[in-house]
Structure 1
Amino acid sequence: MAEPIHWLDDGTPYSPRFNDRYHSEQGAVLAQAREVFLQGCGLPEDWAGQPQWRILETGFGFGLNFLVTWAAWRADPQRPKLLHFVSLEAWPVAADDLLRVACAHPELAELAQALAAQYWGLLPGVHRLAFDGGQVLLTLCIGDAQALLRAQEWTVDTVYLDGFSPANNPDLWSLQTLKGVARCCRRGTRLATWTVARPVRDALTQCGFTVAKVPGVPPKRHNVQATFDPRWEPRKARPAQPPVEAASQCLVIGGGLAGAAVASSLARRGWQVQVLDRAKAPAAGASGLPAGLFCPHISPDDGVISRLSRSGIRVLLAQAQNLLQLGVDWQPSGVLEHRVEGRLGLHPQWHDGLGVDWSHEALAHQLAAASLPPDATACWHVRAGWIRPARLVAALLAQPGIVWRGGAEVARLHCTEVEGCIQWHALDAQAQVLAQAPMVVLAAGFASRALSGEHLSLQALRGQISWGVQDAALDAALPPFPVNGEGNLVTHIPLGDGRRAWYLGSTFERDIHTLPPTPAERVQAHAANRQRLSDLLPGVLPALEPAFTSALEEVSADQPLPAHAVQGWAAVRCAAPDRLPMVGPLDSAALPGLWACSAMGARGLTLSLLCAELLAARLHGEPLPLEAKLAQALAAERL
């Protein structure tokens, strides 16, 4: 549950846990945010003209420091292209309380509403919230500050040292915590705080900061400003791939969801990107799925895939809301997951906490809408729904800085180096140069394996879905929301001509990458999908049985499917041996500038946008959009 707040008679929020006010009287709170933190750290002057600026805050509270900083960024014509705001918080407050505080200041009301709309489901871990088209990135880290500072690998330009008073929350101001803060600083990083407690000043000095007391903001007489400038050379782990100094040119091989997401993330950071694909139009492969669902994975231990899927959905929701048309291109309808094996799979501590913002046991009316019995084992995913991947691909590729080149089949890559400058050449089958750039990202699905020189270990996964037109007679028989489990059923999808369709699947045909499937293979796929429906939604099967009957009874292996039968669609996905995506440089020493974003398996919709942001963050030395350990688990270099 969210941190409980008590409200004093003067309207000031009070924390029973720490026996302290969240801030001083209302009139001084914005002055503190602007003068103590923003101006105390030399902003906005210091960030003028920079490609990015990275701020670390040790206590998010009600988000006022973030909102004031965001407002200053918006108002500054010299603002950096990208603003990163990383904030630590052990006990997040409720969104309603956040709004109550922020909306007391009319100049922050619009920004506060945008923040509150994404301020949900803040389970322990790292949450990436995106604003202003992805140019303002808030990374909320929920948990103990010392543990978070040890686990993450941030480099920041500014530090807001904030939180409850050292007397009431000594751990946040301890030498151990401040050592963690110092590890995030580069030489010249500026820090500001409202407290002048002697132990805090002494600890900052010990950690390598030059510390000064300055006139305070009433009711404080003094504040502290500091600059990280140690007498010693800080020891900092050197990344295998040093961050790029400036945006440049990049070739992205593959025009599906992974490639479009990478192109969009890089273009937003100032890169000029060419997307090469052998097809004549984008999303011609697995990303051409007519309609698919995005849905979190759940597990009682909240394992890697579960946490990754939630991080991916946050990024997807932000992009879809910004780029797509609701009800036509996508719908966050919620998804029912029928756990046919009889185990609910939810984390045991979620039933009364922030986990219910994500998933909870299905309610009786949701089971009934899916024609499932009241005792069926199922859960309801709140932040889930259906989407048309091709529409998302098109919207991503339409961003400034991206050039699409269809009909450009890359047969191999060739690298040259002249006076230390790397240049990659994309060659066709006749060894003619299609395009060249200092950097290449492989996002061509299973075809990426050959282009990588076998550095990518990928397995082909052909998948076939069954689908049909949904007439009025089916409306009452089909569930009004997608249903997931062993396979999935997505219904009520507009076709654009006044009709709607349902989609069922998908098969998993390992190590098969031939397309199109033979007539016999299509019949086998329809039979397999029908069986999935029988297990997933036995009460729905009778309504769709006629479409399958004609396909399975009237068609021999040598004949095409008749027009009145259920229709099929097929594509090839790919996966790594450990079933996790592969993101990052393939071999920084041997293949400098060659990166990959691939192996999404069956979770391309959920993970592609997250992986693209992870790739861009690694490339630029930005705060990562997810926990460092999860990022390491996805590194392309791991296999």
Structure 2
Amino acid sequence: MNTQPIVAATLAHTVDGVPYSAHYQDVYHPRAGAFVQARHVFLGGNQLPARWQGRQRFVVLETGFGLGNNFLATWQAWREDAARCERLVFISVEQHPFTADDLRHALAESPVPALARALVNAWPAHTHNLHTLDFEGGGVRLLLALGDVRRWLPELVADVDAFYLDGFAPARNPQMWEPHIFKALARLAMPGATLATWTSATAVRAGLRAAGFEVEEARGTGGKRDITLARYNPHFVPRRAPSRTTRPATPRHALIVGAGLAGSATALALATEGWSSTVYDRGDTPASETSGNPAGLFHGIVNAQDGVHARFNRAAALLTRRAITRALEDPTVVGAVSGLLRLDDADADTLHEVIAQLGLPPDYAQAVDPSRASALSGLALRQAAWFYPGGGWVDPAALCRTWLAQAAPVARFRGAVTVTTLQRVGDTWQLLDDHGRVLDEAETVVLANASDTMRLLDSPAWPIDTVRGQITCFQRALAPHLVLPHLPVAGAGYVLPDVHGLAVFGATSHPGDREPQVRAADNAANLSLLQTMTGSAPTSVPLDSLHGRVGWRTMARDRLPVVGAVPAPVDQQGRLDQPRFVQRLPGLFVFTALGSRGITWSTLGARALASWITGAPAPIEASLLDAIDPARFVSRSARRPATGATAHTPEGD
């Protein structure tokens, strides 16, 4: 999907005080009030709250978020309903969102002030993304797609129970009411899904009928004579791509192999969806291997092409910022969401041009010259840089522990357990130890154990490499004159602010190297990086006083994670040209190849995986799901049989 800069709406009012769009020359709601319309047309027209009662999940899709009043009214109705569904997911698309300040002013007199404040406080950056906003401990989730509804509807992956068609009038905004919009809604509709809209336009009703909806007229309100209601009941239901449909296991329980960033994040994501899990790890404690470094970075990226790599990293960074901010409420988790600098060889003017071209907001990324970069970092930097205000650093092991604690009691950790073999017996997967004994079994298994995932899968022909990395650290007291940055600085390597009284920097990168011992030569190389990045080095610290830590990063050659259901053998396949059409082994999933971006990618990857496992709406668009899907390697091989499963190289970061 080609991204477009997001242009904010301008808050204006009619002489009667009704919010008004000068761009579309139409009001956001009738004079009678937004909640009057929301309750009569959208809630009443979709028979809510009655239809969600007793359900595990209920999904609403709205085609124009506006001021958010329909969402707030639906959220309030959910709160007040004793028989409500376990989880309410509200998906909405908005091309011209308000700024947080304008939204705050517009909702100042909201009938639900506490909910309105929560919405404003969670308001996302204006980037062309599907933003996840969680409320009520995950019981209510808003998936807010910023951009053109015509581009977004084909990219959404969801089973929708009710539709709110709420755009400006067809005469004012005809693009939102075109026939292909209704066909896109039908693709997302569950059997019997309902729809309501305030418009009674003949063309709208005809378009809905043509898309498979049964249409009826109903009484309007607030000066509107009649409205339109519909139910999805087509003569023919198109077959969905096999990888986009899931039969959730019963009971809702998963076994997760690996308790690093990927596994811990998956346990939390599944818990949020109402699933329990048992997390196995060969270490005594969570994150005892590569995820056990004393600190790590997280941040987005900017690239002029804004392809899948940049878009996935942006979506991941935006969600990670929220996840780390919450995790830092735990006093045992050390870190900061106070920004990160990534040095660049280009000059600041060139970086500014890319920002302007993409329309990225300053709360996501800024281009800064060497002077500004130096002021932000406290170092004498000689390069321009990208400044990511939502980036930062965190102790990854502590982060894993707090994620597992947040997932408790439905997530249980079992350490010092080595899973040697995975086998399928009937409808279940069994985990076996090195004596062939069954450790556990379940219908759903997630392999989140880095390179060991490939061994348990009998080494499929996926282009994934193992890269040895070594970081270096020493006690700050040994070099009191060394200046460390105020915030993380990354480039050819990275250097962190003070971490528990340590200077932490690095890191080396050696593909295929399996040497487990810390090497003095690598510490020396990291010292050279430190000198280059900061302009100083701890010359008073002898090499034998330096500490190092070795870890192995598992990386796909296209530099994206591998997240999703495991493809079935090729001889069981039909269509292979696109990942979403590839058949899967039932109940078996992977989350691996996080490379050096484990902290940044873990939350979004886990959310995407949990949506696949549980049938919840996906937190990213279909094209990004394809980009991280393990079946991408199968599809590339099928499209280029002469060259095999060679991965493409995406844009740089």
TM-score, structure 1 as length reference: 0.90
Q: Secondary structure at the match of 2:539?
A: helix
The aligned counterpart of 2:390 is 383
Amino acid corresponding to residue 362 of structure 2 in structure 1:
V
Q: Distance in 1 between matches of 2:33 and 2:378?
A: 57
Q: Distance in 2 between matches of 1:631 and 1:136?
A: 23
1:340–1:536 CA contact under 8 A, matched in 2: no
2:90 to 68, 80, 85: 85
Bigger shift: residues 156-165 or 183-192: 183-192
Q: Distance in 1 between matches of 2:197 and 2:99?
A: 25
The aligned counterpart of 1:558 is none
The aligned counterpart of 1:525 is 522
Q: Secondary structure at the match of 1:350?
A: helix
The aligned counterpart of 1:556 is none
Q: Distance in 1 between matches of 2:509 and 2:86?
A: 42
The aligned counterpart of 2:361 is 355
Q: What pairs with 1:233-632 in structure 2 (closer than 5 Å)?
A: 233-240=236-243, 242-246=245-249, 248-325=252-329, 328-340=333-345, 342=347, 345=351, 348-350=354-356, 353-362=359-368, 364-370=371-377, 376-398=383-405, 399=407, 400-417=409-426, 422-455=427-460, 457-471=463-477, 474=480, 477-493=483-499, 495=500, 500-515=501-516, 517-518=517-518, 521=519, 523-538=520-535, 541-542=536-537, 544-547=538-541, 550-551=542-543, 561=544, 565-588=545-568, 591-632=585-626
Q: Structure 1 residues 373 and 279 mapped into 2: Cα distance closer, same or farther (>3 Å)?
A: closer
1:464–1:570 CA contact under 8 A, matched in 2: yes
Q: Structure 1 residues 434 and 347 mapped into 2: Cα distance closer, same or farther (>3 Å)?
A: farther
1:19–1:168 CA contact under 8 A, matched in 2: yes
Q: Distance in 2 between matches of 1:408 and 1:339?
A: 44
Deviations 1:290-311 (A, max 9, x none): 1111111221222322211121
Q: Secondary structure at the match of 1:356?
A: coil
Amino acid corresponding to residue 354 of structure 2 in structure 1:
P
The aligned counterpart of 1:555 is none
2:56 to 22, 45, 51: 51
Deviations 1:67-96 (A, max 9, x none): 221222223232222222111111112111
| TM-superposed deviation, 1:368 | 3.0
| TM-superposed deviation, 1:319 | 2.4
Residue 119 in structure 1 maps to residue 123 in structure 2: yes
Q: Distance in 1 between matches of 2:388 and 2:584?
A: 44
Q: Distance in 2 between matches of 1:630 and 1:213?
A: 39
The aligned counterpart of 1:130 is 134
Q: Distance in 1 between matches of 2:505 and 2:445?
A: 36
| TM-superposed deviation, 1:274 | 1.0
Q: Distance in 1 between matches of 2:303 and 2:272?
A: 34
Unaligned runs of 5+ in 2: 1-6, 569-582, 634-653
Q: What pairs with 1:168-207 in structure 2 (closer than 5 Å)?
A: 168-207=172-211
1:256–1:284 CA contact under 8 A, matched in 2: yes
1:254–1:443 CA contact under 8 A, matched in 2: yes
Q: Secondary structure at the match of 1:270?
A: coil
Q: Secondary structure at the match of 1:150?
A: helix
2:129–2:315 CA contact under 8 A, matched in 1: no
1:88–1:143 CA contact under 8 A, matched in 2: yes
Q: Structure 1 residues 221 and 111 mapped into 2: Cα distance closer, same or farther (>3 Å)?
A: same
Q: Secondary structure at the match of 1:573?
A: strand
Q: Structure 1 residues 347 and 36 mapped into 2: Cα distance closer, same or farther (>3 Å)?
A: farther
Q: Distance in 1 between matches of 2:153 and 2:52?
A: 24
Q: Structure 1 residues 578 and 83 mapped into 2: Cα distance closer, same or farther (>3 Å)?
A: same
Q: Distance in 1 between matches of 2:319 and 2:298?
A: 12
1:336–1:362 CA contact under 8 A, matched in 2: no
2:282–2:419 CA contact under 8 A, matched in 1: yes
Q: Secondary structure at the match of 1:33?
A: helix
Amino acid corresponding to residue 506 of structure 2 in structure 1:
G
The aligned counterpart of 1:217 is 221
Q: Secondary structure at the match of 1:211?
A: strand
| TM-superposed deviation, 1:185 | 1.1
The aligned counterpart of 2:13 is 7
Deviations 1:568-610 (A, max 9, x none): 1221120122221111111246742221000010000000111
TM-score, structure 2 as length reference: 0.88
| TM-superposed deviation, 1:346 | 6.0
The count of corresponding residues between Structure 1 and Structure 2 is 606
The aligned counterpart of 2:27 is 21
Bigger shift: residues 188-197 or 529-538: 529-538
| TM-superposed deviation, 1:446 | 1.1
Amino acid corresponding to residue 386 of structure 1 in structure 2:
W
Q: Structure 1 residues 282 and 121 mapped into 2: Cα distance closer, same or farther (>3 Å)?
A: same
Q: Distance in 1 between matches of 2:196 and 2:71?
A: 14
Q: Distance in 2 between matches of 1:457 and 1:32?
A: 54
1:329–1:387 CA contact under 8 A, matched in 2: yes
Q: Structure 1 residues 220 and 459 mapped into 2: Cα distance closer, same or farther (>3 Å)?
A: same
The aligned counterpart of 1:99 is 104
Q: Secondary structure at the match of 2:338?
A: coil
Deviations 1:510-548 (A, max 9, x none): 112342x24xx2x1111221222233222xx24x3333x
Deviations 1:81-140 (A, max 9, x none): 222211111111211121222231152x22222222332322223222222333322222
| TM-superposed deviation, 1:281 | 0.6
Unaligned runs of 5+ in 1: 552-560
1:58–1:160 CA contact under 8 A, matched in 2: yes
Q: Distance in 2 between matches of 1:4 and 1:465?
A: 49
Question: What's the RMSD between the two structures over aligned residues?
Answer: 2.3
| TM-superposed deviation, 1:488 | 1.1
The aligned counterpart of 1:38 is 43
2:472–2:504 CA contact under 8 A, matched in 1: yes
Q: Structure 1 residues 242 and 374 mapped into 2: Cα distance closer, same or farther (>3 Å)?
A: closer
Amino acid corresponding to residue 74 of structure 1 in structure 2:
R
Deviations 1:160-211 (A, max 9, x none): 0001111101111122222222221122001011111222122212222122
Amino acid corresponding to residue 471 of structure 2 in structure 1:
I
2:373–2:385 CA contact under 8 A, matched in 1: no
